[in-house]
């Protein structure tokens, strides 16, 4: 039996442990009472807090309660506000008297909502081990980095996970990852106050330090822990679709807790303070893309290169048609539901572009600092950003531009185009 099969089987058992209904076997076998009168001294597992909480669950599941106790105690000594670790600690004490069928079975049943949140946190942390791929495959969402973009953040809403990738000669290279909290009602934000985290391509556009938050937010500053990094929601496409809201940030957590439940924010993405500080070192304000998807897609390098080449060819084809004054092929690259940043629909846009093209005898168009990122979910898009250098017989200008592409009858077309904000 391969080690991969054994690991998958073990992970599947761990998932069963966390469900509300009792699993096929209890959290630990029912031992004879005298065995627990004098608990053996165990060996604490080492690693990150997440690695150790998972190790403790593994130890409990296998019946190695001494190592589980040592691991939980060491973790709580380092992270005294880690509520999931406290819950496991209570379970370990309860198991001296009786077997438990699920995490938290030995806790006060009047705290049902809190127990459920902690079970969901444990399940989110364990589940990632079943589908983990970022160190062996590439993210389908990070296709083209602009040269100045050193890192990109990818947030998998379903997995409650944030990943950091480095731009290494244009290839997204895995750096690190952490558990993260998203909106109480999930993802795909549409309006102010819907307690959802947005889906799409955004950019970190500010840093609000904790001292600044203390001055401006008072007692509420503690909600954001060590500080906040706002992102550019709503983006240009969101606004054109009538999506509303503001104040979507990456931020820390209050001082009295280590981590929050997977779905607990009002739409922001929250990490433990320690892990938010780790993420912060990779953020370039004004540059770092934050790609939020319902579920991350991991592909081989060969497939990633193919998608990257296709995206680059698509954008260059648009540029070439425009530069060559091929008005009809150029306009055919725009979707029927197209909107410009000035509110023009496809008919008005086409009329204006045809008129402008008729006044040209030649044009030269160069795209610099190009980036291309792909979102997923119910409305998949490609987001392209670039510096456009345009020259013709009667005009010479430069602008930062952003386009959003979506598929129409199986063909990628531009749904929005305008100045990048």
Domain membership of residue 136 (yes or no) is no
- Quickly state the pLDDT bin for 7 (edges 50, 70, 90): very low
Beta-sheet pairing, 182-183 with 263-265 = parallel
Residue 189 lies in a domain: yes
Does a structural domain hold residue 383?
Answer: yes
What is the domain extent for residue 401?
Answer: 299-419
> Same domain, yes or no, for 108 and 150?
no
Domain shared by 117 and 219, yes or no: no
Domain assignment present for residue 139? The answer is no
Q: Quick one: 168 and 286 in the same domain?
A: yes
What is the arithmetic mean of pLDDT over 152-162? 97
Lookup result for tokens 């309006």: 191
Residue ending a domain, among 240, 263, 298, is 298
Same domain, 289 and 303: no
Q: Are 108 and 265 in contact (CB under 8 A)?
A: no
- In a shared domain, residues 272 and 312: no
> What DSSP character marks residue 110?
G
How do residues 294-337 score in pLDDT, each as one tens digit?
999 999 999 999 999 999 999 999 999 999 999 999 999 999 99
Distance CA 198, CA 157 (A): 9
Determine, yes or no, domain membership for 77.
yes
pLDDT at 192 over 90: yes
Structure tokens at 107: 């806790």
Final residue before a domain boundary, out of 243, 273, 298? 298
Could you please report the per-residue DSSP string of 180-236?
-BEETT-B---STTS--B--EEEEB---EEHHHHHHHHGGGGGGGTTEEEEB--S-H
Kindly report the CATH number assigned to the domain that includes residue 404.
3.10.450.50
Average pLDDT score over residue span 257-276: 97
pLDDT digit string, tens, across residues 225-260: 999 999 999 999 999 999 999 999 999 999 999 999
Say yes or no: 280 and 363 in one domain: no
Residues 85-101 as b or e (16 or more Cβ within 10 Å = b): bbbbbbbbebbeeeebe
Check whether residue 154 and residue 291 sit in a common domain.
Answer: yes
Let me know whether 268 and 308 are in one domain: no
Please report whether residue 141 resides in a domain.
no
Task: Report whether pLDDT(29) > 80.
Answer: no
Domain boundary among 298, 331, 355: 298
390 - beta bridge partners?
365, 397
**Mean pLDDT computed over 262-278:** 97
pTM for the full predicted model: 0.89
pLDDT at 24 over 90: no
Number of domains forming the structure of the chain:
3
Q: Are strands 269-270 and 249-251 parallel, antiparallel or unpaired?
A: parallel
Residue 137 lies in a domain: no
Judge if 156 and 294 occupy the same domain.
yes
Asked if residue 156 and residue 282 are part of one domain, the reply reads yes
CATH code of the domain in which 157 resides: 2.40.440.10
Query: For residue 280, is pLDDT > 90?
Result: yes
Active-site positions read 251, 268
| One domain for residues 42 and 104 | yes
Give domain status of residue 75, yes or no.
yes
pLDDT number for residue 129: 80
Q: Comparing 143 with 4, which gets the higher pLDDT? A: 143
Q: Considering only 12-26, 220-234, 358-372, which range has the smallest mean pLDDT?
A: 12-26
189 and 287 together in one domain: yes
Pair of tokens at residue 236: 């240009």
How many contiguous H segments (helices) and E segments (strands) does the chain have? Answer: 11, 19
């Amino acid at each position: 039996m391969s080690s991969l099969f054994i690991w998958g089987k073990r992970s599947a058992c761990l998932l069963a442990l966390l469900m509300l209904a009792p699993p096929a076997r209890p959290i630990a076998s029912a031992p004879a009472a005298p065995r627990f009168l004098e608990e053996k001294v165990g060996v604490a597992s080492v690693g990150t807090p997440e690695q150790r909480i998972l190790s403790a669950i593994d130890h409990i599941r296998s019946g190695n309660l001494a190592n589980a106790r040592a691991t939980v105690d060491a973790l709580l000594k380092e992270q005294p506000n880690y509520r999931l670790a406290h819950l496991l600690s209570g379970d370990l004490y309860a198991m001296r008297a009786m077997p438990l069928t699920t995490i938290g079975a030995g806790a006060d049943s009047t705290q049902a909502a809190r127990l459920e949140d902690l079970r969901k946190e444990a399940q989110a942390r364990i589940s990632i081990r079943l589908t983990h791929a970022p160190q062996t495959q590439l993210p389908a969402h990070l296709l083209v980095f602009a040269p100045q973009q050193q890192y990109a953040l990818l947030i998998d809403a379903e997995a409650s996970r944030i990943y950091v990738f480095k731009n290494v000669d244009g290839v997204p290279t895995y750096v690190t990852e952490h558990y993260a909290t998203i909106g109480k009602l999930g993802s795909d934000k549409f309006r102010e106050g819907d307690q959802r985290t947005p889906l799409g391509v955004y950019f970190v556009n500010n840093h609000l330090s904790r001292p600044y938050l203390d001055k401006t937010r008072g007692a509420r500053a503690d909600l954001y822990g060590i500080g906040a990094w706002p992102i550019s929601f709503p983006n240009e496409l969101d606004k054109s679709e009538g999506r509303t809201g503001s104040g979507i940030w990456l931020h820390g957590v209050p001082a009295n807790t280590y981590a929050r439940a997977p779905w607990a924010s009002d739409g922001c993405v929250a990490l433990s303070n320690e892990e938010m500080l780790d993420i912060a070192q990779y953020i370039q304000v004004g540059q770092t893309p934050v790609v939020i998807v319902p579920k991350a897609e991991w592909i081989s390098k060969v497939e990633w290169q193919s998608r990257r080449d296709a995206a680059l060819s698509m954008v260059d084809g648009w540029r070439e048609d425009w530069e060559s004054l091929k008005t009809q092929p150029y306009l055919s690259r725009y979707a029927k539901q197209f909107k410009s940043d000035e509110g023009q629909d496809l008919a008005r846009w086409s009329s204006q572009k045809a008129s402008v093209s008729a006044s040209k005898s030649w044009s030269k168009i160069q795209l610099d600092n190009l980036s291309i990122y792909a979102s997923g979910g119910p409305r998949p898009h490609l987001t392209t950003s670039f510096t456009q250098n345009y020259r013709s017989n009667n005009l010479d200008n430069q602008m930062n531009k952003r386009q959003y592409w979506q598929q129409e009858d199986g063909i990628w077309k531009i749904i929005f185009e305008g100045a990048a904000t």
